[in-house]
Structure 1
């Protein structure tokens, strides 16, 4: 019995929003590719954009699956990977957050085992992000991380995670002030791990020293800091005004007001800013009230996730594609620059080999079709 051929045809423009193309895809391969004049495109085709696939560098879960589940395995990770791929997210980094040492060690071990034993997963998950436990214990900067499990840096503990992950930890978010002499940070950098500043209340002087030793990232800028900060000497101004550091951003429309996003977009260069979803298991679930960590959270119809009956955020339930849409709307950046913040920028910063964006006859159709 002959296998039925899958055939798709698209007309639209490249991410530069100038070059118009007609593309035919059969069984996942580009079999025909022709340049066309943009003026002959229909109104619908004019709204079609061919773009690179995306990388989400901070994911806590989605579609009912939590990375913090002690029973996380290759089946659940594959389910997530395939779901994310339907949103144009070809690579993603699971985030292991502040928890008891044994639990964090176990989750690192289970994720790394799944990656190393499954070739499909290995294509989609380049490594692990540790967010905690070496963060500020103070209310505000600590965010939603449980205070009872925030800990002082320990090389012995780090070695456990390093061994459990089989070297798959790509980057660690920590607070510089819990490592005042930065000796712990220097050790991690020597181990080849990238470091990112987050959930902290470090002084400007300490931030300068941290950057001097090679820490060159800030995690979800504008979140995970104190509500009240100095009008001048504060970490947001420092990160925006320092070309040696790159910043991740949760541009879901809830974590940061639109005027803040616009200001950040004007201050940071395109190659120094990247978007993350920081999404949780509530992505893709129906609006309603859910139990989580002993509390009730509510997923609203607009996608906002908050503590039930309050305006306070309980995390993210948005995809990176949602964040791209919001960022394009409010940043003032061209779409090509917005896409870089979801692909080329984080992959280069984290040393991840990314799927090249090629539109050539005979190539696999590894690209995203967007509708403006």
Structure 2
């Protein structure tokens, strides 16, 4: 099965958020991802200072727009941050000093730097005053996702009214301890008929029994499996980087920031998660293409989507 991965921070020892990333390394990662079964993917650029983030977006966009082979495998860019919650846990491993509320001017600069390739932006609705950024993205045909957020139910619904369409890696990018009833997981579940959710389905970021339960609640047309791969994916255990931050990967493939306990992307490829799918996905043969390919293709209107 050929898959679509909407969140890839890096792979095969290559970090897409590295300021020293060069074309040969990026092309090599693209070739290796294609060989692993990924038909198209979204290079994902995470929270960084203003100028650094614009440089990273512009550099990758420039390479892709100039190369037909890269265009065939890069379906678009996913920008995750910097407009996310600064709260511990919710920000994950995103650098606190670069996190900021939504700035429409900065958002427009990022999209312009992306040369028409920005397909997805993950932000925190509570950091988007009056949801102006969400509305602007939706008006440009870019798909806004909530993520790394502690938005209230009212804020989630307000963002949905302005074009929010999805939620990034449900069950991650949140505090380790939350209120029993009123928490971001339950709020997203309350909006399940209006949002598409992505899962990191490696069995580490969320247990398979929980993914199975969520899949039953959302239904197979509203779930996208993504790797959230970082540079350690496809590599042995050790220390790797994401945006200059040191990430430790142990023998179980668990990732964590060297200086704290939070997970930091995935050390698994989407192919690895596909191989694990039958452990938690009922009616595997009937729904696997939707979860690993077609739902993403339809939501982001990628080539091959019926008109």
Match of 2:301 in 1: 351
Instruction: Give the 3 Å change call, closer, same or farther, for CA 291–161 of structure 1 in structure 2.
Output: closer
Confirm or deny that 1:253 pairs with 2:199: no
Match of 1:271 in 2: 221
Confirm or deny that 1:120 pairs with 2:73: no
Instruction: Give the 3 Å change call, closer, same or farther, for CA 116–294 of structure 1 in structure 2.
Output: closer
Instruction: Give the 3 Å change call, closer, same or farther, for CA 59–354 of structure 1 in structure 2.
Output: farther
Match of 1:163 in 2: 112
Confirm or deny that 1:304 pairs with 2:254: yes
1:111 and 1:128 map into 2 onto residues whose CA distance is: 9
CA contact (8 A) 1:56 1:93 kept: yes
1:350 and 1:292 map into 2 onto residues whose CA distance is: 25
Instruction: Give the 3 Å change call, closer, same or farther, for CA 144–312 of structure 1 in structure 2.
Output: closer
Give structure 1 stretches of 5+ with no counterpart: 1-50, 357-372
Q: Deviations over 1:48-95 (max 9, x none)?
A: xxx3x1000000001111110123343222211110112110101000
Counting helix residues as a fraction of each chain, which structure ranks higher?
Answer: 2
Aligned counterpart in structure 2 of residue 262 of structure 1, from 195, 205, 212: 212
Confirm or deny that 1:186 pairs with 2:135: yes
Deviation for aligned residue 1:148: 0.4
2:63 and 2:240 map into 1 onto residues whose CA distance is: 28
Deviation for aligned residue 1:322: 1.1
| Bigger shift: residues 187-196 or 238-247 | 238-247
- Equivalent residues in 2 for 1:113-152 (5 A)? 113-152=62-101
3-state SS, counterpart of residue 255 of structure 1: coil
1:330 and 1:189 map into 2 onto residues whose CA distance is: 33
Aligned counterpart in structure 1 of residue 292 of structure 2, from 342, 355, 360: 342
Deviation for aligned residue 1:189: 1.6
3-state SS, counterpart of residue 171 of structure 1: strand
Match of 1:108 in 2: 57
Deviation for aligned residue 1:301: 2.5
Tell me the TM-score normalized by structure 2. 0.92
Confirm or deny that 1:202 pairs with 2:202: no
Confirm or deny that 1:231 pairs with 2:180: yes
1:296 and 1:173 map into 2 onto residues whose CA distance is: 23
Deviation for aligned residue 1:279: 0.5
Match of 2:235 in 1: 285
Tell me the TM-score normalized by structure 1. 0.77
CA contact (8 A) 1:96 1:129 kept: yes
Give structure 2 stretches of 5+ with no counterpart: none
Root-mean-square deviation (Å):
2.1
3-state SS, counterpart of residue 343 of structure 1: helix
Instruction: Give the 3 Å change call, closer, same or farther, for CA 354–303 of structure 1 in structure 2.
Output: farther
Aligned counterpart in structure 2 of residue 83 of structure 1, from 6, 27, 32: 32
Deviation for aligned residue 1:122: 0.4
Instruction: Give the 3 Å change call, closer, same or farther, for CA 325–244 of structure 1 in structure 2.
Output: same
Deviation for aligned residue 1:272: 0.3
Deviation for aligned residue 1:290: 4.7
Instruction: Give the 3 Å change call, closer, same or farther, for CA 71–147 of structure 1 in structure 2.
Output: same
CA contact (8 A) 1:74 1:118 kept: no
CA contact (8 A) 2:149 2:184 kept: no
Q: Deviations over 1:285-323 (max 9, x none)?
A: 222345667765432223222345986533211000111
1:172 and 1:279 map into 2 onto residues whose CA distance is: 17
